[in-house]
Each structure stands twice: as structure tokens, then as C-alpha cells.
Chain A
């Protein structure tokens, strides 16, 4: 039973355009959401996070949107750059009950073409 799902295994966008990565979750106890980026042979790197009390969080080119009623979040990258090409993981946490335990989605491979 996948509690966090990323339905698009891959996404290809042109350099300079917007990349939108989507993530759905089912567990209502999740109250904190994170996006990680992963290159081959490296561990995931934290990108941006959002608490369930917010619906948007921005950090430079990265914006995360949270729609609690739809149990959906998305990561927007504007403008996309070739260096953004990597696998992106959405993760969720029940911060009150599960400490540092993160539940990850399956990942979306983003390819940004020059």
C-alpha cells in the first residue's frame, strides 16, 4: 500500500521552461512534506519542504504547493536548467508521531534539455 505516489516516472522539459513534478498521498496523518533531489551514486539532497499549515513555500527557483483537501503536492522549478536533471523524490512525515521517519514516493526522473 503506497502512501506516497509519484505517478510520473519521468518528465522531459526544455531549458528555461517550467518543470512541474506531482505527488499524491493517502495518509491524513502526514503533516510535513519534503522534496529531495538525487543524482546517481549520491544520497538524496534536501530541496524544499512545506508544513501542512501552509499551502505554498518558495525558495529561489523552487516552489512547493500543497493542496490538503486533494492530498496533493507539486514542485515547480522555474526556470529549469540542465543541472536540474536528476531524480526527484517526494517524501511525507507524520511529525508528531513518527519522528524522522519519511515515507517516500517512487521518484520522478527529470530531464532538462539544453
Chain B
């Protein structure tokens, strides 16, 4: 049971470099999400994709772009990394069926930007 898989787990970048974080889920979920987690601030939504072919901004989208490649995959791109983007990034997915559907999370990517 893979669930939600994120790659890489760790990455160090220099300011100005670009990078794409990959996320894939095997639960046939329609919705996928990208969060960042910073100390004392909980999880903040960067972008989400309610279904294949759609993406929407979350609370903190500046400096990021996303691509919903297909139903399984949702990538997050940093075009020109900045030290303020040092964080732990989580990808999550959820079902849109009625009921208390929780999110399922990947193991996170620790990203450091020097």
C-alpha cells in the first residue's frame, strides 16, 4: 500500500535555482493538495487540484506553480528558489465522496534553500 509518494525526501538548493517536487497517489483520489509546514504555523495550503485538469491557489501560492499531470500525479515547482521557501512540503490527496473523508499525506520533503 504505497498511498501518497513524494520525491525527493530531502533537497538543498541555492537561491535562484529551480526545482520540481513530485507527488503521486495510487488511491484513485480526485483531489490533491500541496502544503508547506513551518514551525509554529501549522500546515498552510499552497495549491490544490479538486480534479484532474483543474488547479487553484491556496493561502500561500506566491513563488510556486503546480501541474496536475494526470489523476495520479501533482507536481509543485519552484521557479527561482528563495530562502523564505525553506520548509517541509507535504502532498496530500482525498476522495470527494460524501462523508468524513480525511486527507492522506505523503512523508514530506524537507527543502533547504541557501
Q: Do A and B bind each other?
A: no
Give the interface of A toward B (CB within 8 A): none
Give the interface of B toward A (CB within 8 A): none
